[in-house]
């Protein structure tokens, strides 16, 4: 069995509680070396079973597991008296002599799970003082697992029984085996047997020396033997059922009944101790053992129990427990006493083994008790140390007390100086039982002695250096001895013999009487220490302070015999104390003036001293209330929310180099109001840095806190005001500045960044920096404003430009107020600078808008004038052709004209009608141009062909004025991409203009040439020319150089405007040049050329009217629809002259009727007609099956570009505007019929 150290025993204590021998053996056993392992890993029911076993007062066993691991309690150990052979924690199969008689029964209980009882077994019990052979009876019960079926162990209980009769046959080892070994009787035989058995049982029970009871399955008692009834003094009827429970002691009744009921439910044996009231009223302790009864078939019948009076045993146990407790207490007291003695105390027996040692022993060797107790001297001390003390050990074991001092080298604690006393312990016969060893470690003392000698030497040297004089006074003889240093201290002649009177005479007269009185008072009061302070008059150094310190020695009667000590010059200390006192006085005045409380707190005792009245005032205490400890101060005074802070700051102040500073709230004692205080202090630390005391001051700062709160509120309000100010300044893009004129320091707000882009940390504070940014042109005005302020103006407002960080100028408005001193000098200028660039730009834009508006008004007035002039000219130009038309028409109607005159009349009518038609066409073109609706029908066009066609158009007019037209057409591919009709219109307008303004007999030149990728057409004349002032306006709408009623040349002034627009629409340009009036003019049109890759299509030549046969429309059936009779008849006549068959209708309704009855090739219809317009008519006709592919031409006075698009969208193939040229009409019809035929 391995012994454990104290730590391991402490670990096992919860599993094996108590001071019993069995519990101690279990705590000392190394369970890791056993089959069950460490108790911490045991099943719960095993740990409970072991504890129950240890707590039982009956001899009990426990066998665990298939190896029958054995446990037992102290009663069992005491019963058998053979602990060495009990195999604790092991299987008893090979080592225990008690195992073999009970093995079969234990195995049976393991196998069946049924309780069993053995026969009387003869065993030899080894008691401490003797051995005896007794009969023992064992009772075993199963220990079940948590499932209630598996048997994990077996309980066992034993008791000594009388010797069985010699002729008594061996009975079975269990009721179960007994029942199985005999046949079971039945019927009357069974009844008779049972009655006989019952009678015999009652006879034996009534004569038994124990109290016996029985109960049924209902747990109610149905039998008590006579000894029971004699004990209680009650009848059987009174005890039956639960009547007996009333005699149980009230303190034991709940436990007793609970145990009984629990055992009944589990069908288990139980053992319980309780007190039962005897017939004389005395409560007696009973040991009640109950065993379940079972019938032949194993059915539960109830319990049978026996009670033994154990009152005397309980008394003995109680006395024993008290004795043991007393012994344990005495041992504890002894150990406590020996542990408090700073000496190594031990007891060593005659085998030189340790049987006792105090705690100092363990500490000195650094080993636990388990490594000392029971060990030999040489095992603990080591061989060298043992050999050193061996002679002394032999002497003490021989009965001699030994004392010695030696330097010994120990096994565990090195070389030590010891002083030892060995005292032998003798028994009553005088035999040595061992010895008590008292060992005192004097190593430190030896070191102290050595250090003392060294110290004395150093002291002597120090006295020489520090001029400390030693003295010795024999009081009865009044003889004085002192060292040489005293002559130096007192400034006396070394020839002067020392004496009491000589010394007293050196003390100044003011201190002499008091000093002598103090000296003799110390002697009278038999004080052992002398401490005097006095002044002397040194011959050289004047007044000096000396301290006389010494020891006074008395005889047995208390009479002073001798005194010795030293004189020390304490002048410097006294001066320091004086300075310190003055400082303390000043500090007191300062703390009083500052209304500070002064305190001192002893950190070791938690006691506080309040040094002044202010401390009491701050806390609302009176002196009668007393002071507060730190604990009271924290828990009763400090605000709960501030306690953690106070403790933290206190701990911080305990660290070296730190101080205590904390601001917290306290509650006054007198009025329970909270006040703010500020605590400052400094800790005094011991050499090992342990806090000793805290000295500090406390000030009531409630008013300051209120002021701080007011300041914070004011600061917050100021901050919010500043924020609102900054927001307002930011909103108006404003810079606020404050200029200290004397220091020339300017403080500016963040508005500077928004206005000029500079951050505040990158600009100087001087005012010159701002002046350097002012625009040079504005600087004189700003300086003039400054001069005005110098002359007395207190406010100023000025506008100027300053340079932004990125270089552009910013317009600002500067406003400010000047503060002056009494002499009128500038002290401060506060103002604001606002960015007014947007306002300045708005003003400039307003001026520009005003200028533009004036210009626009002038242009509008000019346009109105031009419009009025244009309308006048238009009225003139429209009316002028009507006059010859109407005049000649009336003459023709009169019939008075001959053939030549009639032909002339018709030519005049035709010429003026064409002129009026051209005027209308120009107006329509201008309308399309102004509306952006003029559309080109672009194809490759040969300009030579176009120029030739235009020349043919104006040739007749030129010949009338005898104007010579010269053409110079260069030989090159003159193809352009455009609208042939519109290009011909451009050239025709230029030629018409040249013919108009060229006088009779004049000259016109037309040139076609190539200029790089352009083709140029020039029309040059030697006519009227153009005034240079009017030259820029030649191509504008409605502009004529002469619009007066006296002008020589007609026209609307639209031709050249149309020329420019059509040329630009083709991607070209038109220019005019004229040397002046009367010098002619030259118009040049430039157009982009087409090259061979672009000219795949045939040149458009429809601008030239081809020759055709008179019956070009022969075989063509045409329906003409127009609500205007004149127009309808004219078209009918033209078509019939060209060979067409013509049908006509005056309305759309009539046209639908004709179309339904006729076969038609072409429809020519007006658009604007009543009831149904031409758009709807063409849709209705094309809805008719025979006419879905009929050709359709819209002939209408609606000549706008949109009208043509609408007509095409309605179903017309061509749109012709009235009036129509007859040749053009025939040409369009032929072209349309050709395209329709080709599409088929």
The rounded average pLDDT for each run of 10 residues, N- to C-terminus, in the chain (1240 residues) is 59 81 87 86 81 77 88 84 68 75 87 82 62 77 75 85 59 37 41 46 64 89 90 90 89 92 89 92 91 80 87 83 78 71 85 88 84 89 91 93 90 86 88 90 77 66 68 89 86 89 91 92 90 91 90 90 90 82 69 78 89 88 88 91 92 91 92 91 90 90 86 80 68 78 83 83 85 90 79 81 90 87 82 86 87 82 67 58 71 77 77 70 67 74 89 84 90 86 87 90 93 92 89 77 45 76 88 90 93 48 47 89 86 89 92 89 89 90 84 82 81 84 86 82
Look at the domain 935-1088 and name its fold.
Heat Shock Protein 90 (3.30.565)
Residue keyed to tokens 């300009």: 943
Question: Looking at beta carbons, which pairs linking 283-289 to residues 24 or more positions away fall under 8 Å?
Answer: 283/249, 284/231, 284/309, 284/311, 285/309, 285/310, 285/311, 285/313, 285/314, 286/211, 286/310, 287/57, 287/58, 288/256
CB 1128 within 8 A of CB 1151: no
Task: Name the CATH superfamily housing domain 342-448.
Answer: PAS domain (3.30.450.20)
d(CA 326, CA 331): 8
- Return the closest-CA partner of residue 438 out of 367, 391, 398, 389: 389
Q: What is the DSSP string of 864-895?
A: HHHHHHHHHHHHHHHHHHHHHHHHHHHHHHHT
Torsion of CA 511, 512, 515, 519, to 10 degrees: 180
**Cβ neighbours, 10 Å, residue 1143:** 17
**Cβ neighbours, 10 Å, residue 1081:** 24
d(CA 439, CA 389): 12
CA distance to 609, 610, 618, 629, 904, per residue, from 599 (Å): 6, 4, 12, 11, 145
**Cβ neighbours, 10 Å, residue 212:** 20
Q: What is the DSSP string of 430-476?
A: --EEEEEEEEEE-HHHHHHHHHHHHHHHHHHHHHHHHTPEEEEEETT
- Please state the separation of Cα 1171 from the chain's center in Å: 85
Query: Residues 87, 93, 97, 99: is their CA dihedral positive or negative?
Result: positive
Look at the domain 735-835 and name its fold.
Beta-Lactamase (3.30.450)
Ranges of CATH 3.30.450.20 domains, the chain = 3-161, 197-317, 342-448, 467-569, 604-708, 735-835
Q: Which CATH number fits domain 1117-1239: 3.40.50.300, 3.30.70.330, 3.40.50.2300, 3.30.565.60?
A: 3.40.50.2300
CATH of domain 3-161: 3.30.450.20
d(CA 645, CA 1155): 115
Task: Name the CATH superfamily housing domain 467-569.
Answer: PAS domain (3.30.450.20)
d(CA 742, CA 467): 68
Residue keyed to tokens 């005792």: 605
pLDDT tens digits, residue range 613-641?
A: 888 988 999 888 888 888 889 999 999 99
What is the model's pLDDT at position 127?
Answer: 57
Edge-to-edge strand list for the sheet holding 734-740: 745-748, 734-740, 826-835, 809-820, 795-803
d(CA 1140, CA 1162): 10
Structure token digits, residue 3: 């012994």
**Cβ neighbours, 10 Å, residue 709:** 10
d(CA 1240, CA 1234): 10
d(CA 325, CA 330): 8
CB 138 within 8 A of CB 121: yes
φ/ψ (deg, to 5) at 1000: -60, 140
What is the model's pLDDT at position 197?
Answer: 43
Structure token digits, residue 770: 């701002």
d(CA 1171, CA 445): 149
Q: Helix, strand, or coil here: 1076? A: coil
What is the model's pLDDT at position 751?
Answer: 80
Beta-strand pair 1117-1121/1141-1145: parallel
CB 1199 within 8 A of CB 1083: no
Structure token digits, residue 574: 């006294």
Look at the domain 604-708 and name its fold.
Beta-Lactamase (3.30.450)
Structure token digits, residue 560: 């002073």
CB 779 within 8 A of CB 787: no
What is the model's pLDDT at position 116?
Answer: 82
Alpha carbons within 13 angstroms on the beta-carbon side of residue 653 total 22
- Return the closest-CA partner of residue 307 out of 291, 319, 328, 327: 291
CA distance to 714, 786, 841, 865, 986, per residue, from 782 (Å): 39, 6, 21, 50, 65
Q: Is 1118 exposed, middle or buried (0-12, 13-18, 19+ CB in 10 A)?
A: buried
Look at the domain 197-317 and name its fold.
Beta-Lactamase (3.30.450)
What is the model's pLDDT at position 196?
Answer: 42
d(CA 500, CA 922): 158
**Cβ neighbours, 10 Å, residue 1072:** 18
d(CA 560, CA 474): 9
CB 223 within 8 A of CB 206: no
- pTM assigned to the model: 0.30
CB 474 within 8 A of CB 553: no
d(CA 873, CA 885): 19
d(CA 221, CA 214): 6
Whether the bond between 1219 and the residue before it is cis, its omega within 30 degrees of 0, is: yes
CB 421 within 8 A of CB 438: yes
Q: Helix, strand, or coil here: 725? A: helix
Residue keyed to tokens 């639908």: 1152
Angle CA 500–506–510, to nearest 5:
110
């Amino acid at each position: 069995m391995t012994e454990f150290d104290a730590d391991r025993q402490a670990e096992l204590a919860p599993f094996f509680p108590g001071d019993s021998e069995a519990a101690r053996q279990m705590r000392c056993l190394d369970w890791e070396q056993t089959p069950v392992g460490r108790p911490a890993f045991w099943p719960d029911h095993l740990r409970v079973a072991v504890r129950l076993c240890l707590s039982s007062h009956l001899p009990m066993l426990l066998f665990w597991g298939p190896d029958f691991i054995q446990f037992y309690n102290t009663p069992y150990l005491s019963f058998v008296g053979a602990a060495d052979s009990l195999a604790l924690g092991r299987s008893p199969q090979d080592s225990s002599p008690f195992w073999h008689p009970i093995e079969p029964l234990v195995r049976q209980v393991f196998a069946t799970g049924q309780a069993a009882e053995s026969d009387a077994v003869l065993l030899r019990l080894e008691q401490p003082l003797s051995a005896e052979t007794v009969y023992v009876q064992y009772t075993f019960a199963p220990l079940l697992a948590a499932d209630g079926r598996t048997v994990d162990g077996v309980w066992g209980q034993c008791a000594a029984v009388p010797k069985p009769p010699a002729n008594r046959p061996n009975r079975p080892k269990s009721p179960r085996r007994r029942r199985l070994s005999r046949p079971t009787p039945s019927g009357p035989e069974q009844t008779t047997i049972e009655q006989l058995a019952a009678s015999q049982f009652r006879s034996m029970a009534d004569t038994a020396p124990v109290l016996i009871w029985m109960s049924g399955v209902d747990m109610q008692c149905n039998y008590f033997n006579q000894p029971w009834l004699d004990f209680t003094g009650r009848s059987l009827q009174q005890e039956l059922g639960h009547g007996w429970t009333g005699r149980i002691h009230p303190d034991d009744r709940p436990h007793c009944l609970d145990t009984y009921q629990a055992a009944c439910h589990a069908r288990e044996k139980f053992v319980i101790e309780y007190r039962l009231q005897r017939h004389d009223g005395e409560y007696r302790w009973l040991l009640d053992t109950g065993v379940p009864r079972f019938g032949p078939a194993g059915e539960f019948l109830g319990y049978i129990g026996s009670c033994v009076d154990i009152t005397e045993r309980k008394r003995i146990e109680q006395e024993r427990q008290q004795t043991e407790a007393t012994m344990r207490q005495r041992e504890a007291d002894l150990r406590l006493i020996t542990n408090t003695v700073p000496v190594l105390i031990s007891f060593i027996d005659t085998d030189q083994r340790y049987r006792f040692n105090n705690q100092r022993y363990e500490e000195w060797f650094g080993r636990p008790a388990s490594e000392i107790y029971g060990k030999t001297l040489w095992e603990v001390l080591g061989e060298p140390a043992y050999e050193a003390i061996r002679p002394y050990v032999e002497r003490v074991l021989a009965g001699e007390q030994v004392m010695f001092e030696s330097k010994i080298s120990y096994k565990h604690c090195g070389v030590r100086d010891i002083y030892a006393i060995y005292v032998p312990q003798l028994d009553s016969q005088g035999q040595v039982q061992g010895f008590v060893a008292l060992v005192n470690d004097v190593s430190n003392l030896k070191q102290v002695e050595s250090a003392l000698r060294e110290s004395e030497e150093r002291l002597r040297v120090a006295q020489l250096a520090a001029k400390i004089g030693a003295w010795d006074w024999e009081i009865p003889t009044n003889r004085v001895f002192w060292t040489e240093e005293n002559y130096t201290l007192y400034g006396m002649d070394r020839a002067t013999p020392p004496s009491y009177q000589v010394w007293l005479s050196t003390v100044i007269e003011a201190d002499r009487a008091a000093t002598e009185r103090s000296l003799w008072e110390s002697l009278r009061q038999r004080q052992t220490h002398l401490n005097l302070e006095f002044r002397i008059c040194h011959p050289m150094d004047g007044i000096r302070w000396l301290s006389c310190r010494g020891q006074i020695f008395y005889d047995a009667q208390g009479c002073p015999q001798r005194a010795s000590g030293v004189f020390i010059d304490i002048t410097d200390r006294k001066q320091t104390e004086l300075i310190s006192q003055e400082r303390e006085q000043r500090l007191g005045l300062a703390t009083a003036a500052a209304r500070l409380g002064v305190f001192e707190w002893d950190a070791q005792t938690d006691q506080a001293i309040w040094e002044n009245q202010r401390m009491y005032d701050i806390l609302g205490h009176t002196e009668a209330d007393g002071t507060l400890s730190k604990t009271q101060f924290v828990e009763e005074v400090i605000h709960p929310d501030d306690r953690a802070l106070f403790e933290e700051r206190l701990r911080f102040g305990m660290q070296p180099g730190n101080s205590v500073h904390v601001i917290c709230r306290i509650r006054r004692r007198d009025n329970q109001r909270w006040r703010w205080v500020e605590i400052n202090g400094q800790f005094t630390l011991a050499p090992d840095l342990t806090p000793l005391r805290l000295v500090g001051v406390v000030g009531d700062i409630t008013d300051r806190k209120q002021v701080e709160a007011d300041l914070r509120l004011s600061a917050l309000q100021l901050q919010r005001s500043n924020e609102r100010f900054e927001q307002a300044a930011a909103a108006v893009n404003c810079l606020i500045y404050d200029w200290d004129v004397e220091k020339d320091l300017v403080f500016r707000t963040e508005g500077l960044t928004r206005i000029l882009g500079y951050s505040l940390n990158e600009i100087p504070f001087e005012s010159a920096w701002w002046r350097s940014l002012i625009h040079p042109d504005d600087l004189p005005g700003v300086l003039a404003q400054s001069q005005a302020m110098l002359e007395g103006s207190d406010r100023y407002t000025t506008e100027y430009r300053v340079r932004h960080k990125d270089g552009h100028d910013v317009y600002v408005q500067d406003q400010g107020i000047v503060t002056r001193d009494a002499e009128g000098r500038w002290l401060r200028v506060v103002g604001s600078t606002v960015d007014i660039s947007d306002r300045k730009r708005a003003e400039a834009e307003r001026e520009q808008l005003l200028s533009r508006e004036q210009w626009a008004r002038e242009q509008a007035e000019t346009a109105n004038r031009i419009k009025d002039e244009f309308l006048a000219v238009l009225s003139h130009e429209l009316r002028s052709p009507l006059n010859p038309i109407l005049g000649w028409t009336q003459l023709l109607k009169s019939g008075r004209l001959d053939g030549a005159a009639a032909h002339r009349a018709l030519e005049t009518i035709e010429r003026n009608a064409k002129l009026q038609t051209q005027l209308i066409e120009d107006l329509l073109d201008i309308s399309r141009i102004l509306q952006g609706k003029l559309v080109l029908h672009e194809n490759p066009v040969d300009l030579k062909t176009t120029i030739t066609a235009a020349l043919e158009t104006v040739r007749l007019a030129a010949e009338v004025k005898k104007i010579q037209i010269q053409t110079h057409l260069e030989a090159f591919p003159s193809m352009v991409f455009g609208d042939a009709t519109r290009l011909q219109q451009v050239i025709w307008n230029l030629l018409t203009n040249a013919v108009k303004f060229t006088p009779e007999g004049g000259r016109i030149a037309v040139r076609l040439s190539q200029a790089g990728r352009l083709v140029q057409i020039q029309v040059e004349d030697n006519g009227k020319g153009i005034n240079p002032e009017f030259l820029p306006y030649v191509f504008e709408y409605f502009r004529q150089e002469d619009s007066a009623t006296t002008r020589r040349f007609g026209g609307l002034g639209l031709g050249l405007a149309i020329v420019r627009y059509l040329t630009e629409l083709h991607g070209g340009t038109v220019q005019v040049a004229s040397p002046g009036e009367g010098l002619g003019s030259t118009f040049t049109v430039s157009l982009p050329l087409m090259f061979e890759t672009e000219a795949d299509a045939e040149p458009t030549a429809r601008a030239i009217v081809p020759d055709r046969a008179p019956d070009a429309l022969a075989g063509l059936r045409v329906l003409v629809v127009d609500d205007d009779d004149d127009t309808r008849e004219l078209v009918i006549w033209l078509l019939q002259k060209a060979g067409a068959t013509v049908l006509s209708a005056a309305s759309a309704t009539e046209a639908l009727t004709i179309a339904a009855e006729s076969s038609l090739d072409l429809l020519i219809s007006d658009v604007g007609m009543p009831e149904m317009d031409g758009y709807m008519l063409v849709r209705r006709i094309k809805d008719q099956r025979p006419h879905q592919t009929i050709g359709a031409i819209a002939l209408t006075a609606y000549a706008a570009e949109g009208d043509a698009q609408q007509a095409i969208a309605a179903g017309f193939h061509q749109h012709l505007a009235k009036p129509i040229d007859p040749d053009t009409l025939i040409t369009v019809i032929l072209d349309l019929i050709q395209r329709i035929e080709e599409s088929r």
